[in-house]
Every structure is written in C-alpha cells, then in structure tokens.
Structure 1
C-alpha cells in the first residue's frame, strides 16, 4: 500500500476513476512502486495483472484504472503485465455501493482464468494491482481464483486503503 484513502488522496483516486484524469495513474504507480521497494526483492512478483472490470463498467469508464496504475510498475520492475490473465466472467454491482455484509456474495465466483492463461498462472507468483482496498473481498476473490488455477503465490499491490475506524 502506498497511501491512506483519506483527503486529499481519496479525491485524487476519484478523479482518476470517475473524472477521467488518466495522468494520475503513473503517479499512483510510482508511489506504489516506492512502497514495493521496501520489500525484499525475492518477494516481488514475477508477473503482474490488474483487477479486471466488468464489460459494462469498462465500457462506461473507457479504461481500467488498476491496469493504468500497473503499467509503470511493470516497466520499472521489468516484469510482464498480463491484462487478460484473469477476466470478470459476470458484471457485479459496485462493491463501494454495498453494505460490507453483501460484498462477499456479490463478488463470489466473479472471476475466471481463461484457458489460454492457465499455463501462465500455474506455479507463478502473481502481483495483482488495484487502486483501493476496503473490505478486501474483491482481492480475496481474485487471489482465491488465481490459486485455484495453480498460482503459487498472489501478492496484492494496492495504491490506497482507508484508515481504520
């Protein structure tokens, strides 16, 4: 994690996601890369992917903010970025709009590793990039899916997290 999801960072994340401020993504990637540099090199993933958006949300937004954050990280670490490694097999309701008790059910079985990616996933240490973690349900489901398809390890690379209450 690179930042607390609190003012002014929360407004910057919203500007990227909903305000089409794509120029913020490399900044978020750089800050996340700095946080990752604190970890021992052997803990770094061998390839990256981003939490995929559903088809409708991607069409509405025009881009996947997590993927845009992942691009500079991939270049700096010299590890492949595999956007299609994991796909959202069904559109889900926005997790941020749901009560925490509803989030697990909403995201359950939402992801799948397509057949052409199974050999890439098997035995790999995969870094999953996302912009914000709240309850962790989405990233837990992503990790569960990747491990079910044979990933050796999954590391979440998240730009921001809300402050504990």
Structure 2
C-alpha cells in the first residue's frame, strides 16, 4: 500500500531564487528557505555521545549506557537536540502536514551529512526509513520517515528502500512510554522482507527524532541478524536524557 501524499498542486516552489525564510519570513538570500540568522540559532547538537548522540556536557565522550552495553547500531547522526524551534517544526511537519517544513529540515540534514561524509564518516549504500504500523499509516496518510529518507536519498545520491523493513505488530505508540516499556513494546515488532538485499551492506535507518533509541535498537538488531555489515541512524533531532536540562 502506497500511502505517501499525492501532491495535486505544488506546495512549495523549492527552486525559487527569491526564498523567504520559513521561520521569520524575511528574505533568505540562500538556495534554501532559511536565513543565516535563523539557521545559526537552531539548537545545534555539539556536545554529544559519540555513539548514540545523547546530549552531554562535553564533546568526544561516550554516555554511560553505551559504555555499559554497546547498541546494535554503529553511530547516530543528528544535527540538533530536540529543542525550539526544531521541535515545533518537526511537530508541524509530522502531525499537521506542513511538508515544506519537513523538506527544509531534510535539506539541512542532508547538508550536515554531506559535511560529515567529507570529514570521513562512512557513507551507507542504502537508506531505510523507520516503518509505521499499517493502522497508523492509514490514519495519518503518510510516513514522515519515508518522506525524509526519499529527500535525503535524492540529495545525497543514496538509494532509498521503503519496503525492506516492515512493522509486523501494531504496537501502541512509543510517545509517552519509558525506556523499559518501549523495549518491551517493540519485541518482534519488525521484520526484514528481503534478507539477500541487506547481506554484507552498510545501511542507515532514517527517522525524525531519536528518544530512547529502542526503535533504532530493535531495527538494527533485525538487520544485523539478516546479515547487514553495519547499521547507522540518521535523524533530525536527539532528545536529552529524561530529567536533564
């Protein structure tokens, strides 16, 4: 079932040379619709865990959880922590169909990843969006992770496959659950549809926000069991540890 939105009219003229910033409505003077001032004020994630991107007080560290038990995924790449205005932009894109905001965030994430690849980060051969449960996909009408992955794939020239991962159990929404409940919620929730397509390959999961990492852990474990060589995670934002600033 293909539930991505069918655009009957142009929602935003992305190649317009006279962009206005989507955040402040001032002239952007840039190829994408965000001005230099607003881009600089985004909640950039500088000090973070080198593995899961958890916000930390210093750069170059590994958080306690990753030190105790290394996750199945190799590395998380997220340019921002989940703070204003990125949190509001993601919410408007994810729940209110404001797709130009998602397109802007995807473009900025793509620029971030291109910079990281130039720095030496290994580039995957395949992008895999985090799948949604069928019922939730029907209700919402689109998978925001699938849209992000397609935009990233086009920008970075990396193949995107929306059908290689499926959600086999219609589990309750992860939002509002604690870490232990999230892990229990996701047991046997996902499956790989084509084991041969992942064998020996470097893959990257794509999602909007990484919270506890339970979904990424469950999916990465399935992919490694299917023979994947390495699994990374690309997302727009990373939340802090519950209770921290």
Partner of 1:5: 82
TM-score by length of structure 1 reads 0.93
Cα shift at 1:44: 0.9
SS at match of 1:102: helix
Partner of 2:139: 60
Equivalent residue, structure 2, for 1:33: 110
**Whose Rg is larger?**
2
Task: Calculate the aligned-residue CA RMSD, in Å.
Answer: 1.3
Moved over 4 A (4+): none
2:150 is paired with a residue of what secondary structure?
Answer: helix
Which of residues 189, 197, 208 in structure 2 aligns to 1:120? 197
Q: Does 1:152 align with 2:229?
A: yes
- Between the aligned partners of 1:44 and 1:92, the Cα distance in structure 2 is 32
CA–CA distance in structure 1, aligned partners of residues 112 and 130 of structure 2: 19
Deviation per CA, 1:70-111, whole angstroms, max 9, x where unpaired? 112101221111000110011111111212221100012111
**Which deviates further from its counterpart, 14-23 or 50-59?**
14-23
| Structure 1 match to 2:128 | 49
Secondary structure in 1 aligned to 2:159?
coil
Which one is further off, 37-46 or 143-152? 37-46
1:97 aligned counterpart, secondary structure: coil
Structure 2 residue corresponding to 1:89, chosen from 159, 168, 171: 168
Higher relative contact order (CA 8 A, sep 6+): 1
- The count of corresponding residues between Structure 1 and Structure 2 is 163
Who is 1:111 aligned against? 190
Q: Say whether the 8 Å CA contact 1:92–1:110 is kept in structure 2.
A: yes
- Are 2:114 and 2:156, in contact at CA under 8 Å, matched by a contact in 1? no
SS in 2 for 1:40: helix
8 Å Cα contact 2:168/2:189 also seen in 1: yes
Q: Is the 8 A contact 2:89 2:102 kept in 1?
A: no
Q: Which structure has greater helix proportion?
A: 1
**Structure 1: unaligned runs, 5 residues or longer:** none
* 1:121 positional shift: 0.7
TM-superposed CA distance for 1:7, in Å, is 1.3
Using the size of structure 2 for normalisation, the TM-score is: 0.64
